[in-house]
């Protein structure tokens, strides 16, 4: 153990701890910008400088290890002067019309500037980058002027997702974080996962905002039908300032009703539907109809990744659509017929933890209802802003149940939100279908947790099914490489692009592993309390097969609930 | 930079040569500098096609090659002239009159810093310290260094290159 003094307080930490971590342990907050607790230390923004007695210069707290007997001052006049200088230099290259920025109020740079306080007039002339904005992507907006070169987006894209879409161009004053050869984001290998938005401390990378479009549809008098993804109920309250992992299912429905959404449905229902379709497909493939392993297709970022990097292996993807798109197809067909609403007048909206869903709902082939199945995918962040704009006091809202007929989801549908959830949900149903009895314990722990790749063997009365679960595209690549080499021993693989699954998705409040852990805990706790915990036992599922679809993988189910994939290899050429 | 600035093609035959240079270093990203310096000798610029071939053969990302190439002053993603005039941009040259030398060369060639003459013979650019501070202001033309310049001597020097009066 190392003993040091920070701001006159004795602190005792383990060897290898940095000054920053030691200070946080002693409840002393040092401002940071390039530091991210899930990432490698970069020490490029210099804002965390501190004074260490006996050192001539001011070291950065994030990269300097604490040493025995060290005496640290985190807010001495010398330190504060240095921080103000550093901030002035950053602001000499950063636009100062904060009110017109989507990140305003959530911006880390704004927060640091307020804390440090730069109230004197600017010391340096403002010199902004001339590079134009990039709004080409359906999911991510780039504004180069607001970039402070912290490299957090590059870190997550390269090290977690293994994509490396952006990196630094040029050097020194001319440095800029961008795509190679001035490409638009839409022309690159970007899969729209939005993890870079999660990492960005400023407004340089933001979500492609669809809020105005929703208002526009309201003005046109469209019937707004909304579906809410499983993980949204554990993420929305956090985006509105409550503790991570706060479950707000009932309040969420009330808020959507007050915002003017006529019908509020639960994507847990279509997640159950996905299990029925995908589970049936798996059983057919296990009997020899189609290639193994079968890989889940719920995650649009993963699907685009597979289409780009392994177009010859998209036959391994389940043909079942993602829950969002299944629901979209049903809303404009089954629901429209039942409620006698003209599908033309329906505006189908989804609330998602995901930026890639915006890309998915714009795929031209996903229009099996005769119209674009889902018109807009809103992220949790956008919904949180809609609620704030409407002046709804979210904390005090009463609970409202989801609307019939698609408001009932099982626990299996709910756990889709966490990595391993689709696998667990599928195993529950497949086990019952094959053996005729439910699993002894519904919680299937080997596929839970945040290990990069989890694998397990399930015995279905003699038939052994080998399964694997991966999250983060770098892990997905390992499984994909096995398949390419013909060495994959698995039958069924679940892949989610975002680390942690949808609860760690790009459309949520900014993530850290600690927060994602709290969200995961919340989703599994909420699942335990649900009356129905297996997809095939969901009465709404029984109803839709009895009254509309026939049986899983029927002709109509194939038309509405299954899709095809394309080759996007040219994005790499 | 906008995408149009990169709209030039590298001949297929050159790309095959580039692939031959890069292929032995598959899964050895630390050898990128070696590959790049060898490729530079045969290609006019690190166009997107060239970078893609290097990335593919070495199994690294295109972004990594691009970021690497744009970092170094001696490498370029745009085709440059036959003669690359590299003006030292450091402080000693500046105080000894580099600005006047730059002005003289710019006027003589009719281009600004960072540009290439329309006939493709001269490219004018700044570069980090050449280490010739004792004979500042200094510049390099391709791999030759020239020091103790003033506007007149710089003009005479460029004139020799215009006439191809250099061995």
Per-residue pLDDT reduced to its tens digit, A23-62: 999 999 999 999 999 999 999 999 999 999 999 999 999 9
Say whether pLDDT at B6 is over 90. no
* A105 domain residue, yes or no: no
Q: Say if B126 is an interface residue toward chain A (CB within 8 Å).
A: no
* A177 domain residue, yes or no: no
Q: Say if B77 is an interface residue toward chain A (CB within 8 Å).
A: yes
Q: What pLDDT is stored for residue B1 in this prediction? A: 46
* A513 domain residue, yes or no: yes
Please provide the average confidence, as pLDDT, over all residues in chain A: 92
* Same domain membership, residue A413 and residue A282: yes
* A331 domain residue, yes or no: yes
Of the candidates A467, A44, A503, A19, the residue with the CA atom closest to the CA atom of residue A244: A503
* Same domain membership, residue A229 and residue A87: no
pLDDT tens track for A60-107: 999 999 999 999 999 999 999 999 999 999 999 999 888 999 899 899
Nearest to B67 among A169, A183, A184 (CB): A169
Q: What pLDDT is stored for residue B5 in this prediction? A: 56
Q: Which residue of chain B is at minimal alpha-carbon distance from A184?
A: B3
DSSP 8-state secondary structure symbol assigned to residue A186:
G
Q: How far apart are CA A237 and CA A255, in angstroms?
A: 11
Nearest to A164 among B5, B52, B61 (CB): B61
Integer-rounded Cα Rg, in Å, for chain A is: 25
Q: Say if B150 is an interface residue toward chain A (CB within 8 Å).
A: no
Q: What pLDDT is stored for residue A400 in this prediction? A: 92
A337 is an active site residue: no
* A173 domain residue, yes or no: no
Count of domains for chain A: 2
Q: How far apart are CA A179 and CA A188, in angstroms?
A: 8
Q: Tell me, what CATH number does A547's domain have?
A: 3.40.950.10
> Can you tell me the mean pLDDT for B59-82?
90
Residues of A in contact with B63 (CB under 8 A): 164-167, 179-180
Domain that holds residue A34: 2-91
Residues in chain A: 573
Distance in angstroms between the alpha carbons of the first and the last residue of chain A: 53
Q: Tell me, what CATH number does A46's domain have?
A: 3.10.20.740
pTM given for the model? 0.91
Q: What pLDDT is stored for residue A467 in this prediction? A: 93
Q: Say if B113 is an interface residue toward chain A (CB within 8 Å).
A: no
Q: How far apart are CA A511 and CA B130, in angstroms?
A: 46
CA distance B152 to chain A (A): 31
3-state helix, strand, coil in chain A (%, to 5): 40, 15, 45
List beta partners, residue B139.
B87, B146
* A565 domain residue, yes or no: yes
pLDDT tens track for A110-130: 999 999 887 666 678 889 999
pLDDT tens track for A246-268: 999 999 999 999 999 999 999 99
A344 is an active site residue: no
DSSP per residue over A208-253, as a string?
Answer: ---HHHHHHHHHTT-EEEEEE-TTHHHHHHHHTTS-TT---HHHHH
Q: Say if B8 is an interface residue toward chain A (CB within 8 Å).
A: no
Domains observed in chain B = 3-71 (no CATH), 83-162 (3.40.30.10)
* A7 domain residue, yes or no: yes
* Same domain membership, residue A85 and residue A234: no
End position of a domain, from candidates A70, A91, A112: A91
Q: Beta-carbon neighbour count of residue B29 at 10 Å? A: 15
Which strands sit side by side in the sheet containing A9-13, from one edge to the other? A9-13, A2-6, A71-73, A51-52
* Same domain membership, residue A217 and residue A85: no
Nearest to B70 among A131, A132, A170 (CB): A170
List beta partners, residue B146.
B139
Nearest to A171 among B2, B62, B71 (CB): B71
CA count, 13 A, side-chain hemisphere, A51:
14
Q: Say if A573 is an interface residue toward chain B (CB within 8 Å).
A: yes
End position of a domain, from candidates A60, A91, A122: A91
- What ipTM goes with this model? 0.89
* A452 domain residue, yes or no: yes
* Token digits of residue B51: 């970078």
> Can you tell me the mean pLDDT for A206-219?
93
* Same domain membership, residue A528 and residue A390: yes
* Same domain membership, residue A451 and residue A321: yes
Q: Beta-carbon neighbour count of residue A224 at 10 Å? A: 21
**Angle (deg, nearest 10), helices A108-116 and A77-91:** 140
* Token digits of residue A536: 């095939």
CA distance A523 to chain B (A): 37
Contacts by B103-111 with C-beta closer than 8 Å and gap 24+? B103/B151, B104/B151, B104/B152, B104/B154, B104/B155, B105/B154, B105/B155, B105/B158, B108/B155, B108/B158, B108/B159, B109/B158
* Same domain membership, residue A414 and residue A279: yes
> Can you tell me the mean pLDDT for A358-362?
93
Say whether pLDDT at A150 is over 90. yes
Say whether pLDDT at A573 is over 90. no
E strand spans, A62-165: 71-73, 140-142
């Amino acid at each position: 153990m190392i003993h040091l003094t920070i701001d006159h307080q004795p602190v005792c930490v383990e060897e290898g701890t940095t000054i920053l971590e030691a200070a946080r342990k002693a409840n002393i907050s040092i401002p940071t910008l390039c530091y991210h607790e899930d990432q490698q230390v970069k020490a490029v923004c210099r804002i965390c400088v501190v004074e260490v007695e006996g050192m001539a210069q001011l070291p950065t707290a994030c990269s300097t290890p604490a040493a025995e007997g060290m005496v640290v001052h985190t807010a001495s006049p010398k330190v504060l002067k240095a921080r103000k200088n550093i901030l002035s230099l950053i602001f000499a290259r950063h636009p100062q019309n904060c009110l017109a920025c989507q990140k305003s109020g959530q911006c880390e740079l704004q927060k640091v500037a307020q804390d440090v306080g730069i109230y004197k007039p600017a010391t340096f002339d403002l010199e902004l980058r001339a590079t134009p904005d990039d709004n080409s992507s359906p999911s991510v907006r780039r504004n180069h002027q607001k970039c402070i070169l912290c490299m957090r987006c590059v870190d997550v894209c390269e090290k977690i997702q293994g994509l490396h879409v952006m990196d630094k161009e040029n050097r020194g004053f001319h440095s800029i974080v961008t795509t190679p050869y001035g490409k638009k984001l839409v022309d690159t290998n970007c899969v729209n996962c939005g993890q870079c938005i999660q990492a960005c401390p400023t407004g340089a990378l933001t979500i492609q905002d669809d809020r105005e479009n929703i208002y526009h549809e309201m003005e046109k008098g469209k019937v707004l039908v909304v579906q809410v993804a499983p993980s949204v109920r554990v993420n929305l309250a956090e985006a509105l300032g409550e503790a991570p992992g706060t479950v707000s299912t009932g309040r969420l429905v009330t808020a959507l009703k007050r915002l003017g959404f006529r019908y509020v449905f639960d994507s847990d229902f279509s997640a159950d539907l996905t299990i029925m379709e995908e589970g049936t497909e798996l059983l057919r493939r296990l009997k020899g109809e189609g290639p193994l392993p079968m890989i889940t297709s719920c995650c649009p970022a993963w699907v685009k990744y597979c289409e780009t990097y392994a177009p010859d292996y998209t036959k391994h993807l389940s043909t079942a659509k993602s829950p969002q798109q299944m629901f979209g197809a049903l809303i404009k067909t089954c629901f429209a017929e039942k409620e006698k609403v003209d599908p033309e007048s329906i505006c189908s909206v989804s609330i998602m933890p995901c930026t890639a869903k915006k890309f998915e709902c714009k795929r031209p082939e996903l229009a099996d209802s005769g119209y674009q199945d889902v018109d807009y995918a809103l992220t949790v962040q956008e919904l949180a802003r809609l609620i704030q704009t409407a002046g709804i006091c979210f904390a005090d809202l009463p609970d409202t149940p989801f609307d019939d007929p698609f408001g009932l989801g099982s626990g299996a549908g709910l756990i889709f939100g966490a990595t391993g959830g689709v696998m667990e949900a599928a195993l529950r149903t497949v086990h019952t279908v094959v053996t005729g009895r439910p699993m002894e314990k519904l919680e299937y722990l080997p596929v839970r947790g945040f290990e990069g790749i989890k694998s397990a063997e399930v015995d279905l009365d003699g038939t052994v099914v080998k399964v694997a679960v991966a999250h983060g595209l770098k892990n997905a690549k390992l499984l994909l490489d096995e398949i390419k080499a013909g060495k994959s021993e698995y039958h069924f693989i679940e892949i989610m692009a975002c680390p942690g699954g949808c609860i760690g998705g790009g459309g949520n409040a900014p993530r850290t592993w600690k927060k994602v852990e709290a969200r995961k805990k919340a989703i599994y706790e909420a699942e335990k309390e649900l009356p129905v915990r297996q997809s095939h036992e969901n009465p709404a599922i029984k109803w839709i097969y009895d009254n509309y679809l026939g049986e899983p993988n029927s002709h109509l189910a194939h038309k509405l609930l299954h899709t095809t994939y394309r080759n996007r290899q040219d994005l790499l050429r | 930079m906008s995408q149009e600035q990169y709209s030039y093609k590298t001949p297929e035959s050159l790309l095959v040569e580039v692939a031959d240079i890069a292929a032995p270093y598959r899964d050895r990203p630390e050898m990128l500098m070696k590959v790049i310096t060898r490729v530079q000798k045969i290609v006019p610029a690190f166009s997107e096609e060239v970078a893609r071939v290097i990335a593919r053969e070495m199994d690294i990302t295109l972004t990594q090659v691009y970021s690497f190439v744009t970092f170094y002053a001696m490498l370029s993603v745009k085709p440059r002239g036959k003669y690359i005039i590299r003006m030292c941009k450091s402080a000693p040259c500046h105080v000894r009159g580099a600005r006047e030398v730059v002005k003289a060369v710019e006027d003589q060639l009719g281009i600004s810093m960072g540009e290439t003459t329309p006939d493709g013979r001269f490219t004018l650019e700044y570069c980090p310290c050449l280490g010739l501070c004792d004979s500042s202001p200094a510049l390099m033309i391709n791999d030759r260094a020239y020091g103790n310049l003033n506007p007149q001597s710089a003009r005479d020097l460029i004139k020799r290159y215009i006439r191809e009066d250099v061995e």
